[in-house]
Amino acid sequence: MTDLIDPVLLARAQFAFTVSFHIVFPAFTIGLASYLAVLEALWLWRGQDVFLRLYKYWSRIFALTFGMGVVSGVVMSYEFGTNWGPFADATGPVLGPLLGYEVLSAFFLEAGFLGVMLFGMNRVGRGLHFFATVMVAAGTLFSAFWILSANSWMQTPAGYAMAGGQYVPADWWAVIFNPSFPYRFVHMVLAAYLTTAFVVGAVGALHLLRSSYNESARVMFSMAMWMAALVAPVQLVAGDMHGLNTLAHQPAKIAAMEGHWETERGAPLLLFGLPDMQAETTRYAVGIPHLGSLILTHSWNGELRGLKDWPPQDRPYAPVVFWTFRLMVGLGLLMIAVGLTGLVLRWRGALYVTPWFHRVALLMGPSGFLAVLAGWVTTEVGRQPYVVYGLMRTSEASSPIAAPAVASSLALFVLVYVVVFGTGIYYLLRLMRAEPESTAAAPEGGARRPRLASEWAGGPTKE
């Protein structure tokens, strides 16, 4: 066995890779399931065909995404055991039942009603079909509830006792509603809704660029821009509260996010900088004085702890955390800007006839995915070197599997995921590029711009 490659690092890389690929799918399906339920409700309530057309259009995309979410998710449920055996053995009594409840209350619900939702339109009545859609949407939210509770417990463990090397539940209420869970849950569900809103908005924008008379494109673009305008600012507040909660429970993570090394009063907010772990400083720092303290302590001269307060082996890797956090916040601010611009254009009656705004919305299509991934990297790298915060180190958690075995499985995962899910994402883009049917007649000639279709699909494609 070689000492050059650390099997723990490989196991972390494998988990990070598989979970990052996985989270992209549920981040989209959580929002899309709710969107489908809203579309079907509007169709049943108002009887306008456009909602049914949109439902069918997006349910194809949902089916494809959900399938990939399922198969990449099954991997996660076994990876705790294959690569993190000692962690599974020690935390199973606490975390296992949370995942058990996720399977029982969420996965079965989604899977059981998904068939009826996708294939059952002609086999069951409208009411029952709507019920199936709502159950699938509820399942995605229940799933988010339990898995975020489990993740939050690893970040802010509570309600446990120790017995024979295992974490044993002492108070289930305290375990499930551990200190960071409510914030993380709200933050993630809003993130999923925003992710979906910006994908739907981008698809609407694409088809508006081709023809601003397309009724389906108008309706989906309008709905998406309402979501952006309403939810993006709420997310800012939720994110701020989540940050304050992190400051209370994981101050080292905040210090890494902010690139602060010295404990100081009236700390600045760094806009730019390159944290250097060896030199224990943030190079080329550009900051706004006092703003860091103001945001995090809500006081002009509030004290913030710096990374030097912790011994080097207990510090998270700041260069990553610092930048992924800025990426997430930057994207969030852009989302707010898009939402507000959409409101202004709507007020002026120009929402459907402003091509430059449609191009912006098109570019913002993947913004939710990037923000979700950046946020998760921030919180997961930021809680290192612990897997159960403050209690169990990541290095103590991994299975006794030799580096070559982990390296080969990692290589296989990368190969299979890139090929299979890469193809799946290509199919998704192709579905999104297909024009939603519209009853409203388009004017002769002119309005179509197929050039943008190839931009969206990432290059020329063949049917």
Partner 1 sequence: MTLDLPLIWALLIALAVLLYVVLDGFDLGIGILFPFFKAKRDRDVMMNSVAPVWDGNETWLVLGGGGLFAVFPLAYSLLLTAFYAPVIGMLLALIFRGVAFEFRFRDARHRPLWDVSFAFGSTLATLCQGIMLGAFVQGIAFKGRAYAGGWFDWLTPFSVFTGIALLLGYALLGAGWLILKTDGDLQERVYRRAPWLAVAVLAAIAVVSLWTPLLNDAIAARWFTLPNLLYLSPVPLLVGAAALALFWALHRRRTALPFLMALALFALSYLGLGISLFPNIVPPSVTIWQAAAPPESQGFLLVGAVVLLPIVLGYTGYAYWVFRGKVHPDDGYH
Applying CB under 8 A, among 3, 4, 78, 444 the residue interacting with partner 1 is 78
* Binding segment (CB under 8 A) for partner 1, from list 198-206, 231-239, 363-371, 394-402: 394-402
* Binding segment (CB under 8 A) for partner 1, from list 202-210, 294-302, 382-390, 417-425: 417-425
N-term to C-term CA, the chain: 49
Pairwise CA distance, residues 85 & 24, whole Å = 26
Q: Does 57 bind partner 1 (CB under 8 A)?
A: no
Smallest gap from Cβ 120 to partner 1, in A, equals: 6
Smallest gap from Cβ 126 to partner 1, in A, equals: 14
Strands 269-276 and 281-288: antiparallel
Orientation angle between helical segments 126-155 and 181-210, nearest 10 degrees = 130
* Binding segment (CB under 8 A) for partner 1, from list 44-52, 218-226, 291-299, 420-428: 420-428
Total residues contacting partner 1 (rule CB under 8 A)? 77
Nearer to partner 1, 69 or 204 (CB): 69
Q: Does 265 bind partner 1 (CB under 8 A)?
A: no
Applying CB under 8 A, among 120, 182, 330, 366 the residue interacting with partner 1 is 120
User: Before 385, cis peptide (omega within 30)?
Assistant: yes
Applying CB under 8 A, among 420, 422, 448, 458 the residue interacting with partner 1 is 420
Q: Does 447 bind partner 1 (CB under 8 A)?
A: no
Smallest gap from Cβ 422 to partner 1, in A, equals: 11
Pairwise CA distance, residues 117 & 452, whole Å = 32
Applying CB under 8 A, among 63, 285, 363, 457 the residue interacting with partner 1 is 63
Reference 217, options 457, 456, 445, 439; nearest CA is 439
* Binding segment (CB under 8 A) for partner 1, from list 2-10, 293-301, 320-328, 424-432: 424-432
Nearer to partner 1, 355 or 422 (CB): 422
Nearer to partner 1, 71 or 271 (CB): 71
Pairwise CA distance, residues 73 & 375, whole Å = 20
Q: Region of 452 please: left (phi>0), alpha (psi -120 to 50) or beta.
A: alpha
* Binding segment (CB under 8 A) for partner 1, from list 83-91, 200-208, 258-266, 351-359: 83-91
In eight-state DSSP terms, residue 275 is E
Q: Does 58 bind partner 1 (CB under 8 A)?
A: no
Q: Does 20 bind partner 1 (CB under 8 A)?
A: no
Nearer to partner 1, 110 or 258 (CB): 110
Query: Among all chains, which residue has been given the structure tokens 């890797």?
Result: 317
Instruction: Tell me how far the alpha carbon of residue 290 is from its chain's centroid.
Output: 31
Q: Does 177 bind partner 1 (CB under 8 A)?
A: no
Nearer to partner 1, 34 or 399 (CB): 399
Contact by Cβ (8 Å): 115, 128: no
Pairwise CA distance, residues 221 & 207, whole Å = 9
Q: Is the dihedral of CA 235, 224, 113, 422 positive or negative?
A: negative
Q: Per-residue contact track with partner 1, 84 to 103, x per CB under 8 A?
A: -xx-xxxxxxxxxx-xxxxx
Pick out residues in 131-170 that bind partner 1 (CB under 8 A). 135, 163, 165-166, 168-170
Type of residue found at 176: I
* Binding segment (CB under 8 A) for partner 1, from list 78-86, 181-189, 258-266, 347-355: 78-86
Contact by Cβ (8 Å): 215, 264: no
Q: Does 270 bind partner 1 (CB under 8 A)?
A: no
**437-442, long-range: CB within 8 Å, 24+ apart, which pairs?**
437/53, 437/57, 437/216, 438/53, 438/211, 438/213, 438/214, 438/215, 438/216, 438/217, 439/49, 439/50, 439/215, 440/213, 440/214, 440/215, 441/213, 442/211, 442/213, 442/214
Smallest gap from Cβ 387 to partner 1, in A, equals: 14
Q: Does 115 bind partner 1 (CB under 8 A)?
A: yes
* Binding segment (CB under 8 A) for partner 1, from list 186-194, 248-256, 279-287, 421-429: 421-429
